[in-house]
């Protein structure tokens, strides 16, 4: 295969063993189809065909009124369809911006989004995506590609001049045969802690994130009295988990450097940090360093025991470490002791950028007019729609596609689009919810309950208020049910 951007070029003639070797227009490498123009059209067509075949089988068991639940459909989409589409996304992500590629991706995603909310097949892609809480596939592809490039160090987007916290390469990790077996004990009350005072020096560690600032601290005790403390500063983008691990790592380093031998106990209220350290399979840089410190301390005649201690249970050492960690986060003014950017921070920033692009697209496109009455912002809808869980009658209300006279008339299923209240007024969702006199009593009861006069311009405000929203949705479902029964 010849890859070139020249319009005219000489086709090479290759012979091997007396046989001509023909040129190919495309090749498949590790599941990625590469064509000679690097358009990746064939690759996208293939993965979309594979996804659509799965959808066709799923469609038989997920209908509007019966079949697989929306959550099962969502699980299938997230666990099967997205990985199929996103495979090797970093190689072909630039192709996802082309209209032809987006058309293929939208075809796949629209069907699944409609099944998640049990919407009618005529529902637009924009409405289905907003109600299902999915992001457009082409934006997800760009997001996945950016994350891969940042992890591998090929891109400085988001992280800028920050170092990214990446797992230790296997070549630098300890050999499995040399990994020591570690365990941690449990301390749930002061009585358990007092019993261990005579075992030797105790180190209490903690991490804290408060007011957007992150700190960690450790407090060294001996014979029931505090000997020394150490406060640690982390960058604001770091996590509490990193702070907890850093405190334990520094504690093991101090014990390793201690002049005398004996038994040392480290107490942490972060069970996740202790489990990560003791499992021995994590390649987190702080975990590797902690295990190395523990092993080297053992070689020098020091035994380090790890304990989980119940947080906020009135145990003096733990409360002291918690106080110091908060002070370190809020008041410590020095160069950070740890400044590696966690992948969770990178994911959060990339997701914010993706939602921002989705918001611009949602606002500019002309579809989903009824949905925009309730959810005018895709960003706000993305944050709250999972708590609403729209499907069935509620989806009909939020999309305008359902058993309403105006909609049925469009498809010749009803002679007139007019409402039963007035032959000159079309039976649409806004009319039924806000104006129709048939439901005046229900509307009055709702307005009294939420203390808001029901108007079209206020529908989106009602949707943002959790208490008002629940009552409004009950009212909407009730009206939809009555209208559906009338128009059967």
DSSP at 177: G
C-beta separation of 135 from 82 below 8 A:
no
Q: How far apart are CA 32 and CA 40, in angstroms?
A: 9
Q: How far apart are CA 352 and CA 55, in angstroms?
A: 29
pLDDT at site 306: 94
Q: How far apart are CA 54 and CA 52, in angstroms?
A: 5
DSSP at 393: H
Per DSSP, the chain holds a count of helices (H) and strands (E) of 21, 12
pTM for this predicted structure:
0.85
For residue 216, report the phi and psi dihedrals to the nearest 5 degrees: -145, 160
Q: How far apart are CA 296 and CA 258, in angstroms?
A: 12
pLDDT at site 178: 79
Instruction: Pick out the chain residues at pLDDT < 50.
Output: none
For residue 379, report the phi and psi dihedrals to the nearest 5 degrees: -65, -45
SS3 call for 266: strand
Q: How many other CB atoms sit within 10 Å of the CB of residue 277?
A: 26
pLDDT at site 15: 83
Q: Which of 396, 183, 203, 365 is nearest to 291 (CA)?
A: 183
Q: Which residues contact 29 (CB under 8 A, 6 or more apart)?
A: none
């Amino acid at each position: 295969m010849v890859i070139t951007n020249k319009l005219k070029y000489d086709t090479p003639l290759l012979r091997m063993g007396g046989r001509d070797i023909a040129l190919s227009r495309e090749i498949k490498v590790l599941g990625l189809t590469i064509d000679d123009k690097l358009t990746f059209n064939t690759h996208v067509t293939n993965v979309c065909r594979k996804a659509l075949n799965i959808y066709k089988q799923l469609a038989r068991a997920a209908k509007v009124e019966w079949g697989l639940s929306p959550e099962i459909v969502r699980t299938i989409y997230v666990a099967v369809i997205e990985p199929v589409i996103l495979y090797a996304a970093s190689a072909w992500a630039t192709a996802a911006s082309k209209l032809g590629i987006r058309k293929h991706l939208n075809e796949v995603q629209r069907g699944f989004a409609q099944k998640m909310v049990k919407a009618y097949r005529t529902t637009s892609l924009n409405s289905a995506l907003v109600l299902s809480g999915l992001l457009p596939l082409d934006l997800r592809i760009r997001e996945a590609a950016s994350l891969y490039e940042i992890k591998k160090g090929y891109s400085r987007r988001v992280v800028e001049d920050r170092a990214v916290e990446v797992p230790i390469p296997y070549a630098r990790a300890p050999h499995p045969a040399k990994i020591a077996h570690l365990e941690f004990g449990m301390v749930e009350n002061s009585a358990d802690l007092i019993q261990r005072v005579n075992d030797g020096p105790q180190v209490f560690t903690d991490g804290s994130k408060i007011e957007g600032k992150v700190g960690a601290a450790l407090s060294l005790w001996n014979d029931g009295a505090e000997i020394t403390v150490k406060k640690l500063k982390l960058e604001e983008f770091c996590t509490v988990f990193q702070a907890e691990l850093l405190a334990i790592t520094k504690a093991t380093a101090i014990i390793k450097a201690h002049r005398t031998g004996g038994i040392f106990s480290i107490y942490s209220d972060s069970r996740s940090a202790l489990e990560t350290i003791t499992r021995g399979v994590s390649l987190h840089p702080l975990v590797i360093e902690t295990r190395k410190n523990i092993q080297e301390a053992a070689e020098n005649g020091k035994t380090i025991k790890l304990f989980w201690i119940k947080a906020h249970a009135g145990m003096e050492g733990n409360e002291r470490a918690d106080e110091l960690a908060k002070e370190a986060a809020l008041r410590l003014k020095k160069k950070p002791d740890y400044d590696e950017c966690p992948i969770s921070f990178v994911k959060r920033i990339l997701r914010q950028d993706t939602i921002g692009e989705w918001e611009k697209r949602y606002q500019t496109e002309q579809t989903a007019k009824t949905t925009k009455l309730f959810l005018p912002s895709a960003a706000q809808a993305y944050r709250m729609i999972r708590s609403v869980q729209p499907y069935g009658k509620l989806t009909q209300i939020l999309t305008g596609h359902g058993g309403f006279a105006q909609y049925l008339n469009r498809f010749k299923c009803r002679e007139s689009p007019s409402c039963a209240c007035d032959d000159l007024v079309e039976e649409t969702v806004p009319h039924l919810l806000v104006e129709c006199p048939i439901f005046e009593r229900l509307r009055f009861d709702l307005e009294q309950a939420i203390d808001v006069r029901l108007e079209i311009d206020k529908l989106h405000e009602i949707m943002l208020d959790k208490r008002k929203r629940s009552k409004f949705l009950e009212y909407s479902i009730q009206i939809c049910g009555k209208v559906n029964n009338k128009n059967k």
